[in-house]
A and B are shown apart, each in its own frame.
Chain A
C-alpha cells in the first residue's frame, strides 16, 4: 500500500536519482522509551519524526502526474517505506490514486535526544563511543543505521576526556545539554505555529477590556514557556523536570499574571451578567429558567412552598425539641 510522505526540502537529490532514499525504523522515544517509528533519510542522513494527519471521513488522494513546473518543486514528493515499491516510475508519471488520505508529515528531530537515555544510565562514568553505541543497539537494534548521526551529536551534550591518545571517552553533561536546549528556546518561541500561539499565548493573555494592554514581555514569557514545554516533551522525565525548573521563576511570574487576568475576566463576566439581568427582566428570567431545567423536578415539588419554608428545611434543628413535647395535642 502506498503512503504519502511530506518531507522537508534538502532531500531532493536522491529522489531525482529514484533510489530508495529512506527507511522507517523503530527507536525508543527520547522521553517515554516507547518504540516509535521514525523516518530516516539517507542524503543527508537525518532522523524525522512522523506525524500522521488523517481525515475523519473516508477520503482518497489523487497524485497528479508531475508537470515540468512540478518537477522543479520537489518539496512535496512520494517516498515508499520499502525498496519494493508498489508504485513504479511509470505509474508515477501517469499519476495515481491512493485509497487513503493519510498524510505522513516528517519533521527533523535533533539526533542527540536519542543518546540521552543511554547516557543517563551511566551518568557519572566516562565511556567510549563503542560502549555507548553497543548500549544503543542493545536497546534498539535499528540504531545501527544512524550511528554516525548519533555520534555527531555527542559533543553537544557530553563532557569528554582523552585518557590515552586516540581514545575519547564521554559522559553526560547536564550543563552542556541545558545550554544547548536553552539556545533553542528563543528560536522556537519566535516561530511558534499559529495554533499554539493562539491557544497558549494570545487567548491566555488577551486583556479583559479593550483599553487595556498586556505587556510585550508577558507575551514573550508565554511564548518561551510553550517552547520549553515542547522541548521538555523530548527529554527523559528526570531531565525534563530539571530543565523546566530552571525557568520556574519566569513561569511563576507568568502564572500570577495569567491568573490575575482570569480573575478579572470572571469578575467582568459577572458584572456583565448582572448588568444584563438589571437591564431587562427577560434575560434574567432566562437565567432562572436555565437553572430550573436541571432541578425542574425538584422545583415542581417545591412550587407550592415559599422561599422561607424551603430555607427552613435546611436549618439546623439539632438540640431543639418538637413543640409537641411542650404543648399537648388537643
Chain B
C-alpha cells in the first residue's frame, strides 16, 4: 500500500513533465524511503534518475515495495486536471491495477480523484558506480538552458571544456561556430546566480545538443544545476530538489 501526500502538486507535475520528455513508459519504484525512478531513453544513450525522499512528502507510507508501471504522457494528462497549488495525494494498493491521484484545493472545499491504469513494464536497472568526477560545475539552470537553446540552431553537439579559469561551451556547425565562456563568480546576496567550479583536472566532453536541451525541461525545478564531468564518461546533469534529486546521465560523443 502506497500513500503519499504532497503539499503542492506543482513539484510532482514539473518532475513528471521533465521525465516524460526523455522516457515514454517507466516504473515508479516505491519503497519506504520514498519514490524513485530510473529509465533510459529509447536509444539507451541517456538515463534519468529521480528520487523523491519520504521527507519531501507531508505524509508518506509504503508498506511493501511497489513498482508502478506508468505511461508518462497519460500521467501528465491526469496531473493537468489539478492546479499547481492543490494538495496532491498518490495512492495505490499492493496489487492495484491503477494509481489513484487525488487533488484538494487550498480552501479544502473541492476534491477531485482520478485513477490511472497501470501497466506491466519489464525494465532493467543499471548500477551507477560512484565516479570520481574531474570537474563539477554549478551554475544557474536558466543560464545552462539558454546556452543549449542558443547552440541548438548551430550544431548537433556542444563541447564543454572545463579549466581552472572557467567553463567554455563551444559548438561548430555548417553555418558557423559559437562559444560561451563562464567564469566562477559568487554573488553573496543572490546565491542562485553563482557559478562555482570544482576542478581536479581539466576535462572536455562533446555532447548531443538535443539531449542536453531535453534535460533542460527540468529547469523550472531548481534555480541551480550541477554538471559533473569526467573524461570519456557520461556527463551527470543534476537538478537538486528540496528532498531528493533529478539526475540525467548522457554518454559523450567520442571520436571513432
Binds A, one of B82-90, B160-168, B247-255: B247-255
A308 and B47 contact, Cβ closer than 8 Å, known pairs A315-B208, A317-B208, A323-B126: no
Does A324 touch B at the CB level, under 8 Å? Answer: yes
Distance, CA A308 to CA B124, complexed state (A): 22
Complex partner residue of A304 from B73, B156, B214, B256, CB under 8 angstroms? B73
Residue picked from B41, B217, B233, most chain A C-beta under 10 Å: B41
Does B228 touch A at the CB level, under 8 Å? Answer: no
Distance, CA A327 to CA B131, complexed state (A): 11
Complex partner residue of A312 from B42, B255, B256, CB under 8 angstroms? B42
Does B3 touch A at the CB level, under 8 Å? Answer: no
Tell me the smallest distance from the CB of A172 to a CB of chain B, in Å: 55
Does A330 touch B at the CB level, under 8 Å? Answer: yes
Tell me the smallest distance from the CB of A243 to a CB of chain B, in Å: 45
Interface residues in A292-311 by Cβ distance below 8 A to B read 303-309, 311
Binds A, one of B19-27, B53-61, B190-198: B19-27
Provide the residues of chain B in CB contact with A304, threshold 8 Å. 24-25, 71, 73-74
Instruction: List 8 tightest A-B contacts by C-beta distance, closest first.
Output: A308-B21, A327-B126, A315-B210, A319-B253, A322-B44, A330-B125, A320-B251, A320-B45
The answer to whether B127 and A329 have CB atoms under 8 Å apart is yes
Does A326 touch B at the CB level, under 8 Å? Answer: yes
Q: Sample 26 A-B pairs with CB under 8 A, ordered by A number.
A: A304-B24, A304-B71, A306-B72, A306-B76, A309-B23, A309-B41, A311-B210, A315-B43, A315-B208, A316-B156, A316-B210, A317-B208, A319-B254, A319-B255, A320-B208, A322-B43, A323-B40, A323-B46, A323-B251, A324-B44, A326-B233, A327-B127, A328-B129, A329-B124, A330-B125, A330-B126
Does A94 touch B at the CB level, under 8 Å? Answer: no
Distance, CA A308 to CA B255, complexed state (A): 26
Distance, CA A155 to CA B40, complexed state (A): 87
Complex partner residue of B251 from A306, A308, A326, CB under 8 angstroms? A326
Distance, CA A324 to CA B47, complexed state (A): 10
Does A69 touch B at the CB level, under 8 Å? Answer: no
Does B4 touch A at the CB level, under 8 Å? Answer: no
Q: Interface size class for chain B?
A: 35 or more
Distance, CA A304 to CA B119, complexed state (A): 13
The answer to whether B211 and A315 have CB atoms under 8 Å apart is yes
Provide the residues of chain A in CB contact with B71, threshold 8 Å. 304
* Interface size of A in residues (CB-CB distance below 8 Å): 27
Does A321 touch B at the CB level, under 8 Å? Answer: yes
Does B69 touch A at the CB level, under 8 Å? Answer: no
Tell me the smallest distance from the CB of B168 to a CB of chain A, in Å: 20
Provide the residues of chain B in CB contact with A325, threshold 8 Å. 251
Complex partner residue of A306 from B24, B126, B253, CB under 8 angstroms? B24
Provide the residues of chain B in CB contact with A311, threshold 8 Å. 210, 214
Does A313 touch B at the CB level, under 8 Å? Answer: yes
A305 and B24 contact, Cβ closer than 8 Å, known pairs A319-B256, A326-B233, A329-B126: yes
Provide the residues of chain A in CB contact with B25, threshold 8 Å. 304
Tell me the smallest distance from the CB of B241 to a CB of chain A, in Å: 20
- B230-256 vs A: 1/0 string, CB under 8 Å? 000110000000000000010111111
A320 and B21 contact, Cβ closer than 8 Å, known pairs A312-B41, A312-B210, A315-B210: no
A323 and B210 contact, Cβ closer than 8 Å, known pairs A304-B24, A313-B42, A329-B126: no
A306 and B124 contact, Cβ closer than 8 Å, known pairs A312-B214, A322-B44, A327-B129: no
Does B175 touch A at the CB level, under 8 Å? Answer: no
**Which residue of B is nearest A315, CB measured?**
B210
The answer to whether A306 and B21 have CB atoms under 8 Å apart is yes
Distance, CA A277 to CA B217, complexed state (A): 26
Tell me the smallest distance from the CB of A299 to a CB of chain B, in Å: 13
Distance, CA A317 to CA B251, complexed state (A): 9
Provide the residues of chain A in CB contact with B234, threshold 8 Å. 323, 326-327
Distance, CA A330 to CA B129, complexed state (A): 11
The answer to whether B43 and A312 have CB atoms under 8 Å apart is yes
Residue picked from A321, A325, A326, most chain B C-beta under 10 Å: A326
Provide the residues of chain B in CB contact with A314, threshold 8 Å. 210
Provide the residues of chain A in CB contact with B23, threshold 8 Å. 309
User: Told that A311-B210, A318-B256, A327-B128 touch, could you supply 9 new A-B pairs with CB distance under 8 A?
Assistant: A308-B21, A312-B41, A315-B43, A315-B210, A319-B254, A319-B256, A324-B126, A328-B129, A329-B124
Distance, CA A4 to CA B14, complexed state (A): 81
Provide the residues of chain B in CB contact with A313, threshold 8 Å. 42-43
Provide the residues of chain A in CB contact with B74, threshold 8 Å. 304
**Which residue of A is nearest B40, CB measured?**
A323
Provide the residues of chain A in CB contact with B46, threshold 8 Å. 323
Residue picked from A315, A322, A330, most chain B C-beta under 10 Å: A315
Distance, CA A226 to CA B127, complexed state (A): 76
Distance, CA A134 to CA B240, complexed state (A): 99
Tell me the smallest distance from the CB of A286 to a CB of chain B, in Å: 22
**Which residue of A is nearest B23, CB measured?**
A309
